[in-house]
A = this chain, B = another copy of it.
Amino acid sequence: MAFPEFENYLKSLTDLSDAEVARISALAKERKLRKNEFLLREGEICRHKTFVLKGMLRNFGTAPDGSEHILQFSPELTWTLDAESYDNLSPARYSICAVEPTEVLQWTKNDFNTLLIESPKLKSLSEKIISRNIYNSRQRLLTALSATPEEKYEDFIKQHPGMLSRLPLKMIAAYLGISLKTLTRIRHAQLLATK
């Protein structure tokens, strides 16, 4: 197998044939990113679908005051892109950057569209992933609107159990929409409570 992590991922979620999986892999280009290297910068055009083999990316926007707000973390075995930029070839409103040394596979829009036409099973997987993304965004919006900082932090730990130890606190704060000071206070209170 060219990319065992990716091909096992596909096989675990679909019943694509070996030939189909090989065809999808054959059109992928591998890319390695150093920690803090950008995959996409705000203002550029997002020309690829990206699958994370190893490592982790973050997808973030910049507020008018220059502060960074994280929309999504993409650890291994997940997909990422700036959908609006990819669909419309418009300048990206968000940036994508490596949190850790990261290895990704990328497909150009042309190649990926060809694959979607060739393989209805890939298309159906792709639609499922897009739908799940929509549901998650809605849920995340509801949490952002309604939860207390404590609830947001607890929710994050529940939803992303393995990620806490891989992320600097300031990124978790930028994902939760709370200040680093508030996050530190919450974590301190929790540590005391569990002692």
Residues from chain B with Cβ under 8 Å of A130 in the complex: 134
Mask of A136-151 contacts with B, CB within 8 angstroms, 1/0: 0111111011110001
**CB atoms of A69 and B134 under 8 A apart:** no
- Residues A177 and B146 in contact, CB atoms below 8 Å apart: yes
Neighbour of A83 across the interface among B63, B134, B140, CB < 8 A: B134
Residues of B within 8 A of A61 (CB): 142, 146
| A17 CB within 8 Å of chain B | no
Q: Which residues of B have CB within 8 Å of A63?
A: 142, 146-147
* Contact across chains for B87 and A142 when beta carbons are under 8 A apart: no
Report whether over half of chain A's contact residues are helix, strand or loop; otherwise say mixed.
helix
CB-based contact A83/B135 at 8 Å: yes
A97 to B165, CA, bound (A): 42
> A146, B83: Cβ atoms under 8 Å?
no
**B141 in contact with A71 (CB, 8 Å):** yes
Give residues in A with beta carbon < 8 Å to B.
61, 63-64, 67, 69, 71, 83-84, 87, 93-94, 130-131, 133-135, 137-142, 144-147, 151, 174, 176-177
Known: A94-B138, A140-B141. 15 other contacts (CB 8 A): A61-B142, A61-B146, A63-B147, A69-B145, A84-B134, A84-B138, A93-B139, A134-B137, A137-B137, A137-B141, A144-B144, A144-B177, A145-B174, A145-B176, A145-B177
